[in-house]
Amino acid sequence: MSNYVLLRHREIPDIKELKVYQKQGGFKSFKNAVANQTPREITDIIKASGLRGRGGAGFPTGLKWSFMDQKNWPHYVVANADESEPGTFKDREIIEENPLQFLEGLAIASYAVGAEAAYIYLRGEFWQLAEFLDSKIKDLEKAKLLGDKLFGTDYSLKIYTHLGAGAYICGEETALLESMEGKRGQPRLRPPFPPSYGLYGKPTVVNNVETLSNVPQILEHGAEWYQSLGTEESAGVKVFSLSGRVKNPGNYEMPFGSTYRELIFFYGGGILDDAPIKAILPAGASSAILRATDEVLDTPLEYASIRKLGSDLGSGSVIVIDDTISMDWVIKKTIDFFKHESCGKCTPCREGTYWMSHLTKEIASGDIKEEQVDLLLAVASNIRGKCLCALGEFSVMGVLTSVERFPEDFGRKSKTEG
Ligand SMILES: Cc1cc2nc3c(=O)[nH]c(=O)nc-3n(C[C@H](O)[C@H](O)[C@H](O)COP(=O)(O)O)c2cc1C
Ligand code: SF4
């Protein structure tokens, strides 16, 4: 058995070819599910495995599937392949190199929630990946692993790719659904959530590419096996996208419970020019920024432990900052991004990101004035908790935490200096 759960192509390079994937047991789990198991049984296995969503929020996957409104049909599944968070590039590798495992996971999820049509929503820049997936879907149809009346049953499944136009907000699941319906990509007011009111107003499960790619392996090896790979609170493995000031940036699959120290210094080879490590952005541009203390570096990577440190694991896009970089520059970069990507639907985010961008530019220009930093904190605090979707919340995380945790970079004394 491969040492990898998701990045299996690193040991089996041709796993993207159907024949090779099938030789490795591929599509047996889907066939067995459709032919011999009920949708409820599949959902229960995924619940028992402890799998949580890898798109950022970490919501329990089996539980989400069980929320589908049984009185409203048809049902849909949408794979979220938008992957627009700066620093996240794991879904792209999975699709490029291990696409059939992802497609099998999507097929199993569809069967588990009774969907006979599934969609893959890809950001516009991923048009080559969409063409590649289309060719893989054709192979599966030819092999009668997708299509009408599968394996002699009444269950049929079609999978379609759908390209967005390249907007970060379209990774947010309700903006994604609006975009799929041909509307402007802006989030919906919730509740209702997609499992009761999703695509075309029908019950819909939206799951991340990495989340779905775990599913075939869980069915093949069992829920207990998956649980045993991680920790009690965070089951299984996670692909971390490591970037920033490290020697070996890249995707690394690690069991939950590993540490930032292992990720950055073992897999990542340490800091460029062996400079001292300064900060970690655990979840890309959306991060509450952590000071890279020994305590942080040695904390087990789990959803709850990272929250206790005052941040979030998110989609696992770890950006490393060393002591050659000042945090006022970091937040200027992240705020510029959020200002550009704000969809404009609600005022605190639309106007607030504009003003934060203006202030961070002034602050990063070098002439830091006490009142500019105070004003920046005031704007950020007023955005917080007043937005329609999480993008507005994400936009203030870096600002609030970097001023609090790196006061020296904003011309302020640290608390210990008095
Ligand atoms: C601004 C914003 C951007 C997001 N971008 C993505 C994305 O690119 N990919 C993704 O899977 N989830 C993204 N999400 C999370 C999705 O809304 C949703 O929670 C996720 O696709 C659910 O799948 P999961 O349960 O498998 O994690 C984003 C959320 C927000 C608020
Ligand atoms: S918080 Fe920002 S991105 Fe989200 S709905 Fe409001 S304006 Fe749009």
pLDDT, tens digit, 9 for 90 and up, residues 190-231:
999 999 999 999 999 999 999 999 999 999 999 999 999 999
Give per-residue pLDDT as tens, 293-306: 999 999 999 999 99
Q: What is the largest CA-CA distance in the chain?
A: 75
Q: Is there an atom of ligand 1 within 6 Å of 395 CB?
A: no
Give per-residue pLDDT as tens, 168-181: 999 999 999 999 99
Question: pLDDT above 70 covers what percent of the chain?
Answer: 98
Residues in the chain: 418
Q: Tell me which residue of 412, 414, 339 sits closest to 377, measured CA to CA.
A: 412
Residue 302 contacts residue 258 (beta carbons within 8 Å)? no
Chain centroid offset of residue 174 CA: 15
R_g of the chain computed on alpha carbons: 22
Q: How many CB atoms lie within 10 A of CB 316?
A: 26
Helix (H, G, I), strand (E, B) or coil at 385: coil
Residue 392 contacts residue 349 (beta carbons within 8 Å)? yes
Give per-residue pLDDT as tens, 54-95: 999 999 999 999 999 999 999 999 999 999 999 999 999 999
Give per-residue pLDDT as tens, 234-293: 999 999 999 999 999 999 999 999 999 999 999 999 999 999 999 999 999 999 999 999
pLDDT for residue 411 is more than 90: no
* Arithmetic mean of pLDDT over the chain: 96
What the block records as the tokens of 294 is: 């020994």
Chain centroid offset of residue 256 CA: 15
Give per-residue pLDDT as tens, 11-45: 999 999 999 999 999 999 999 999 999 999 999 99
For position 417, what pLDDT does the model report?
A: 53
pTM: 0.97
Q: Tell me which residue of 37, 63, 36 sits closest to 49, measured CA to CA.
A: 63
For position 35, what pLDDT does the model report?
A: 97
For position 414, what pLDDT does the model report?
A: 65
What the block records as the tokens of 126 is: 């991923």
Mutate to test the pocket of ligand 1, among 52, 172, 178 (most ligand atoms within 8 A of CB): 172
Q: Is there an atom of ligand 2 within 6 Å of 239 CB?
A: no
CA nearest ligand 1 atom 8, residue? 83
Q: How many CA atoms lie within 13 A of 370 on its CB side?
A: 2
Task: Provide the sign of the torsion angle of the four alpha carbons 340, 165, 168, 4, taken in this order.
Answer: negative
For position 288, what pLDDT does the model report?
A: 95
Helix (H, G, I), strand (E, B) or coil at 148: coil
DSSP string for residues in 32-57: HHHHH--HHHHHHHHHHHT-B-TTTT
For position 418, what pLDDT does the model report?
A: 42
Give per-residue pLDDT as tens, 326-381: 999 999 999 999 999 999 999 999 999 999 999 999 998 877 778 999 999 999 99
Rounded distance from Cα 185 to ligand 2 centre (Å): 10
For position 369, what pLDDT does the model report?
A: 78
pLDDT for residue 130 is more than 50: yes
Task: Give the ligand 2 atom nearest the CA of 347.
Answer: 7
The whole-angstrom separation of Cα 361 and Cα 341 is: 17
Strands in 218-316 per DSSP E: 237-244, 250-255, 277-281, 290-291
What the block records as the tokens of 141 is: 């149809």
Residue 178 contacts residue 186 (beta carbons within 8 Å)? yes
